[in-house]
Every structure is written in C-alpha cells, then in structure tokens.
Amino acid sequence: MAKITFIGAGSLVFTKNLVRDLLTFPAFEDCTIMLMDIDEERLGFAKEAVNNIISAGGYSSAKAETTTNRAEALKGANGVVSTILVGDLPVWRTDLEIPKSFGVDINIGDTRGPAGIFRFLRTVPVMLDICRDIERYCPDAVFLNYTNPMAMLCRAMQGETKVTVTGLCHSVQGTAAMLAKWIGAPIEEITYTCAGINHQAFYLDYKWNGKDAYPLIREAVQNRPEIYNEEQVRNEMYLHLDYYVTESSGHNSEYNAWFRKRPELIEKYCTHGTGWNPGEYALTVKNAERKRSNWKNQLMAWRDSPIDLKRGNEYASYIFNAVFGDHTLFQFNGNVRNFGLIDNLPEGACVEVPMLASRQGLSPIHVGPLPDQLALLVNTSSRCEELAVEGALTGDPRKIFHAICYDPLTSAVLSLAEIKSMVDQMFKVNQDWLPQFKHLS
C-alpha cells in the first residue's frame, strides 16, 4: 500500500486535483494520502476535500491523514510532492515593488530576475531541510517539486542532497495543447521534443502525425489576429526566433530585454495579450491581497466545488505510477542537472528536458544542442541562476548582486550602481528570511 505525502497540502486546488489523478490508478486505490501543512486550518480544508474525492469515487480502501509534523508525514513515504510558499504577502510584494521603484517593471516575479532570486533565497533553506528529512525518513522516495523558482531550487536540491528529485511544470503539456488547438489538431496526434530551462524551454520539433506542424503554427500566428493577440509576447518571440517557448507571455515578458524596458513597449506587448492583464505588478499584488483577505471563503468554495473524477494531465500521478505503481513507462519533461543533456548550456546547471519514469527511477534523455539563437538567450538566464545558487549556498551576497547584474531586463533598464542600490534594499527587507546570510544582520 503506497504512501504519498503532500508538503504544503494547504495549496488546495493542486492537492485536490493531484489526489483525484492518483486515485484513478488501480495501484493507488488503497493508498494513504498524507497531508502536511504548517497551517492547521488550511490542512483541515485539504482533508475534507480529499475525503470528498474518496467518497465520490468509491475509493473505500484509500485514506487521508493529516499532520503538521514533517517527520511524521515523511516516514515510509513512497512519493513526496512539494507545493510550499515561504513568506507571506508583506515580504513577497517587495520582490515586485522595490524593482518597480527603480524602473524594473516585473510582471509575476516567481522564477528568475531580482524577484525570482530573492524568492529563491527565502525558499532554498526550507527545501534543503525537506530533502534532508527525506534522506532520513524515506530515502528511496521520489520527490516531485512544484514550488518556484523551479530551476534554482532543483539545482540546489540535486547538488546538495542524494534525494531523487525533479521539478515539474504544467507549461510544457499546456502549451503543446494550446498550439494543437490553434492548428485544429487532436492533442493525441501531436508529438514534440521540448528542451531548455524551466519557463524558457522550446519545442525543438512539433509534429502532427509525424509531419512538421510549425508551418501551420506560423500561418495561424501571422494570419489570425485573435491567435496573435492571445499570446503577444510569445508569438513575437516565435516569429523572430523560429521556435515556440513553453511558458506564458506574462512570464516571458520579464525574462528578456525586449518587451518591458520602456512604458510604450509594456503598453504595446504586455498590457493586453499576456494573460495577466493589465500586465503590471499592481494587479498581481491586488489579486494576492484579495485572495488573502478572502482565503477561507475561497477554500470552502474549492473544497465544495463539483468533483470531476476524470484524470487530468499533470505529470505527478503518472510518474508515481511508473516508478512504484503498475510500472507503466511514462515520458515527461522534468528539471534535472545538465550532465551531457543539452550540449550548449552550462554543465551541471538545471535544465528542462525529456525524462523517462520507470521502475528504475527517473532517467533524463540526451537532447543535443539548442539552436544558436535560443542558446544565447537561455545561457544568460542559466548562468545567472548558477551564480545565484552559488551565492545562496555560500551565503555570499556579492554573488547575488552579480547574478542580478546580468538579468536581461534589469540590465536593460539600470546601471550597475542602481542595481547595487536595488539589491541592497531587497536584502534589507529580506534579512529575517535569509539565515544563510548571517552577516547581513
């Protein structure tokens, strides 16, 4: 009987959907779903939601348990999932507001750049502690991380621990389905090779029944305004770089120097077609404030919403089934260190590549080189991430400053002296969250 542990189970929508997926596999019909969170009230909502699924599906042999004790949650687990968030709105909003005050207009800020790096600095000590507990209490478990910033966290965990861990992002299969819809193709007839780094992975090939479908995608983007306007930033990147990127326009607008360095560019590309209208940090903060003030009502709504027992397309349940369920092979895109996987990205950095899940574990697949124009863009982000990870692990604030110096959007807007002032302010407001930088206090 499998035991699957959710760390951060109070992330109720994700927990609910993944538990639904898990219980559709016969191998997990009698599993124990262990829900762990530091917030007992949110944990109670999560248990009720899981029990609703167990009841609706007739999974009488499955059971849900809860705890606020991480060691108890992990003992004997076969699989572990993380959806944690370290810090609350008061510190998180400074990730966006301090750069904004310097003219760096970040849209979401959970992945890379100054906002993503400081979120990483707050989160990595906790994630490493989770990994060390996995080593202690369930060393053979498969650990699937959904917490951002994905690449930097996975790089640190894989470099510092022996845990079998990879990071998962729904943008790969989500974008593949979006492109299929645009060209009128059933998704089951689509195949692709996708590689790069998290949120900057590209479909190196995209085929419909074995035939190159990129000409159809280009025709749709160029000739159908409703499609172009749906993803303005990503479509501009595709039209000029020739390959489609996985993550949304709202995210990708902040990962490069092309779209957010001047107000008129933000208005042209980032205000109406990013999926995060109006494409500015203010709305992101406003939404977070609204959710925070109304969280209990939202949790009750999510808990009590109609239950669709049909399996979804998140990777986690399929991976667990392949490794310790019925062992059906499953190929997916995951985040893993680059040892001979992508030839022209930094050795040892975290890359997002095809992987195979089986009873042998998780096996990444060699991709080869990225096209030169993609490698230039992705190398910049990857090397900044490597420097940020090194700074986090050594407690060296100078390395964090240097990593942010080369962030494409930041460097397009600010001078080196301005970047230093911005980073100093961000360290000041974050110092209570950064035990690895003891000399700052």
> In a structure prediction context, what are the per-residue pLDDT tens digits for the chain, which is 441 residues long?
999 999 998 787 889 899 999 999 999 999 999 999 998 988 998 999 999 999 999 999 999 999 999 999 999 999 999 999 898 878 889 999 999 999 999 988 999 999 999 999 999 999 999 999 999 999 999 999 999 999 999 999 999 999 999 999 989 999 999 999 999 999 999 999 999 999 999 999 999 999 999 999 999 999 999 999 999 999 999 999 999 999 999 999 999 999 999 999 999 999 877 665 544 455 566 666 565 556 667 667 766 777 788 998 899 999 999 999 999 999 999 999 999 999 999 999 999 999 999 999 999 999 999 999 999 999 999 999 999 999 999 999 999 999 999 999 999 999 999 999 999 999 999 999 998 887 664
Q: Answer yes or no: 327 catalytic.
A: no
Alpha-carbon distance of 348 to 47, in angstroms, equals 39
Catalytic pick among 170, 240, 272, 439: 170
* HSE-up of residue 280 (Cα within 13 Å, Cβ side): 15
Query: Is 69 inside any structural domain?
Result: yes
pTM of the model: 0.94
If asked whether residues 301 and 336 sit together in one domain, one would say no
List the domain range (segments joined by +) for residue 354.
330-342+350-364
Q: Which residues are annotated as a binding site for Mn(2+)?
A: 169, 199
Residue 7 included in any domain? yes
* Domain contains 47: yes
**Residue 437 domain flag:** no
Residues at the annotated binding site? 148, 169, 199
**What CATH number should be reported for the domain holding residue 143?**
3.90.1820.10
| Phi, psi dihedrals of residue 386, rounded to the nearest 5° | -60, -45
Cα–Cα distance between 391 and 381 in angstroms, integer? 15
Q: How many domains does the chain have?
A: 2
Q: Is 305 part of any domain?
A: yes
Residue 201 lies in a domain: no
- Cis check: omega of the bond before 408, within 30 degrees of 0: no
Taking phi first (over 0 means left), then psi (-120 to 50 degrees means alpha), and beta for anything else, what does residue 106 get?
A: beta
- Domain-located, residue 182: no
Residue 246 lies in a domain: no
Please provide the DSSP assignment of 175-192 as one string: HHHHHHHHHT--GGGEEE
Q: Does one domain contain both 357 and 315?
A: no
Measured CA angle at 430 (ends 281, 162), to 5 deg: 100
Which residues are annotated binding-site positions for substrate?
A: 148
**Cβ contacts of 203-207, under 8 Å, gap ≥ 24:** 203/175, 203/176, 203/179, 203/243, 203/244, 203/246, 204/243, 204/367, 204/370, 204/371, 206/176, 206/179, 206/244
